[in-house]
Amino acid sequence: MKHLWIIWIYCGIGSSLLAQNSAEGLPISVSYFSQAVYQPGAKIGTQLNLRQWQRSYERKSNTYLKEQSIFVGPQLGFWMLPNDHRFVLLNAEIGYRYQKSRRQTFSAFSIGLGHLLQSRVESFSVDLGGGDIGDKDRVSSHHFMPSLNYAFGKAINSKISWFSRLSYGLKLASNDASRAFFLVEVGVWMNPFSSSVNQQQ
Amino acid sequence: MNRKEFIKQFALLGIGAPLMASLLGACDGKEDFPTVEGDFSGKVLIVGAGAAGITAGYLLARQGIDFQIVEAAAGFGGRVKRLDGFADFPIDLGGEWIHTDPSILSELISDSSVQAKVDIVNYRPQTVSVWKNNQLKKRNFVSNFYREYKFKRTTWYGFFEKFMIPRIEDKILYNRPIASIDYSADKVRATDVHGNAYEADRMLVTVPISILQQNLISFEPALPQRKMDALDSIDFPPILKVFIEFSERFYPDMTVIDGILIQEKLYYDAAFGKDAEKHILGLFVIGDYAVEYNEMASEEAVVQSVIEELDDMFDGQASANYVKSVVQNWTKEPYIRGSYSHFQADYTSTIETLVEPLGGNKLFFAGEAMVLNGDTSTVHGAAESAYQAIQKIMQS
């Protein structure tokens, strides 16, 4: 039941912020999301700015802008270990991001709180006649997963940026099985309606 | 780095088999088993009824080739051994983990008419700790990368017993330790310690390499120096397993001594994933860690030492919950004398030298140390080596 409350809160906050940001267009991220190359996954997300500001700085007689923002971002991710584990992560994060106009690169730091659904294959059978694997006995469990995240990216144009991101998350479990995850993302931010890369991460 | 190279590198680091294969779970895949066919029609003598010897006999039986297996011990299995009645599940006293994709079990049987399934535990410990400098520290992140497999309701011994032994049972002679092998004549001749002689057209030696390293079998002519050098280059360290029943569970799924990458001594929940009600803790010790146990005066002393260490780790809960225990010291088994092969260097050429037939294709070798392009130091690797050897015999 507590997990439904979390989802409800996420939806409430998200829809409220979405209304505030709708005029700027909604950036969408799509990424490869995984613990390792052989544990494939995917993630989609968006980002809603709570506050934006900018300041100028000089470098080699030129003036540039450093655009900064405080943002929140709901995300839905999935990754799996073939024939083994499946993970679904519903995550919400709040963070700080800055983008330098000189090279159109950006960095973002955030903390997240997620709800992790884990489905684990406890046992299975092997057909000795043909070697087929079947009768998978799965066990599911739910966990909170706080995380620390760092993203780095570069705007390709006003509508698309690429980014990579590293997350350190802690799967919280009551049975002494809490454990850390390092998750890697590589993907793109897209905002077809944006007139400025500043709206994208 | 592929899986075999990975195992090789870790073997060089002295890391035990339990973790080696599994760290690259993603590299799991079906092995390329050779097709056993050829024109050979003589008699084959197999020395040893371990995983390699059993598999070799099984393959010859299917080919309709006459063969005989002579085993030194009173039973089959070699380094796979089962303990019944200790817990509410059968315990693997020897080879325990399946260090590759379990579908290899089907390939080992290689018979599409078999109508049977085997239940497998997806062995991914959820709680992992390290005991180092008198401190127990959680290392559950290992669970993200470490995966192996185990039998859920049976054992390696039970697998061979059910699916291979029925075809070869009447071909095995027990309590016949071979003392000498003469491959100088047209026929190959083996003589056991009781003076019984066995003659065949081909002979497959599947004894542990410790038996060859320690010259417990004399060969006529003597084994070539290059083969002896290859044998001597392999480390065959001591190993010991202990299983203890406790009235309550107080331990994590796995506790590694001295560091995650030092897989030479570890405690593990032997009942993991087995639908068992009893709390059975296993201890796997190999290499230098096993030496100190070997030097203890009795099995009771070994258990006492283990309980004391567990009490230090878990605040006295081991002695408070102790019910019973069993010790399997493979180093003291007269026909085993150690664990499994650890290659020092030049992995591939060493194995090629080891499996090289002698006497003009009369004397062949197989076993866990002699797996060409396969998984050395594993049970399925030993069985795979039998496929390779029997293929050579059939084409010889």
Q: What pLDDT does residue B8 have?
A: 41
3-class secondary-structure state, position A119: strand
**What is the SS3 assignment for B333?**
coil
3-class secondary structure, B300? helix
Q: How confident is the model at residue A22 (pLDDT cuts 50, 70, 90)?
A: low
Contact (Cβ atoms closer than 8 angstroms) between residue B57 and residue B30: no
Which among A84, A177, A180 has the least Cβ separation from residue B127? A177
Any CB–CB contact under 8 A between B125 and chain A?
Answer: no
Token pair listed for B48 = 């040893």
The interface residues of chain B toward chain A in range 143-202, judged by CB-CB distance below 8 A, are 143-145, 147, 152, 163
What tokens were used for B185?
């004549």
Mean pLDDT of chain A: 85
Interface mutation target, options A126, A178, A183, chain B, most CBs of B under 10 Å: A126
Nearest to B324 by CA among B288, B280, B371: B280
Span A129-158, mean pLDDT?
94
CB contact under 8 A, B273 and A121: no
pLDDT of B88 reads: 97
Q: What is the ipTM of this complex?
A: 0.88
- List chain A residues with CB under 8 Å of B118: 125-126, 128
Q: Is the pLDDT of residue A5 over 80?
A: no
Residue B75 φ then ψ, to 5°: -150, 170
With residue B319 as reference, give the H or E element that holds it. Answer: helix B317-321
Q: Are strands A41-46 and A28-34 parallel, antiparallel or unpaired?
A: antiparallel
Task: Return the amino acid letter for B48.
Answer: G
Contact A126 B26 (CB under 8 A): no
CB contact, 8 Å: B118 with chain A?
yes
Short-list B275, B147, B375, CA closest to A84:
B147
CA atoms within 13 A on the CB side of B15: 19
Dihedral sign, Cα of residue B103, residue B109, residue B113, residue B116: negative
Q: Does B2 touch chain A (CB under 8 A)?
A: no
Contact status, residue B52 vs residue B386, Cβ threshold 8 Å: yes
Q: Return per-residue pLDDT of chain B as tens, 396 residues.
A: 333 443 444 433 333 344 333 343 434 444 556 677 888 999 999 999 999 999 999 999 999 999 999 999 999 999 999 999 999 999 999 999 999 999 999 999 999 999 999 999 999 999 999 999 999 999 998 888 888 999 999 999 999 999 999 999 999 999 999 999 999 999 999 999 999 999 999 999 999 999 999 999 999 999 999 999 999 999 999 999 999 999 999 999 999 999 877 779 999 999 999 989 999 999 999 999 999 999 998 999 999 999 999 999 999 999 999 999 999 999 999 999 999 999 876 688 999 999 999 999 999 999 999 998 778 999 999 999 999 999 999 998
Sign of CA dihedral B4, B5, B9, B10: negative
Q: Mark yes or no for CB contact A126/B25 under 8 Å.
A: no
> pLDDT band at residue A11, thresholds of 50, 70 and 90?
low
Among the partner residues A36, A125, A181, nearest to B117 by beta-carbon distance: A125
- Judge contact between B43 and B64, C-beta under 8 A: no
Q: Rounded to a whole number, what is the distance in Å from the CA of A79 to chain B's nearest CA?
A: 12
Q: What is the nearest CA distance from A32 to chain B, expressed in angstroms? A: 18
Q: For chain A, list residues whose CB is within 8 angstroms of any CB belonging to chain B.
A: 35-36, 38-39, 81-82, 84-85, 120-135, 175-181
Q: Is the pLDDT of residue A26 over 90?
A: no
Cα atoms in the Cβ-side hemisphere of radius 13 Å centred on B202: 25
Backbone angles phi, psi at B359, to 5 degrees: 65, 30
pLDDT for residue A4:
54
A138 contacts in chain B (CB < 8 Å): none
Per-residue pLDDT tens digits for A59-115: 778 888 889 999 999 999 999 988 888 999 999 999 999 998 888 899 999 999 999
Is residue A16 predicted with pLDDT exceeding 60? no
Residue B25, chain A, CB below 8 Å: the answer is: yes
Block residue for tokens 């799965």? A138
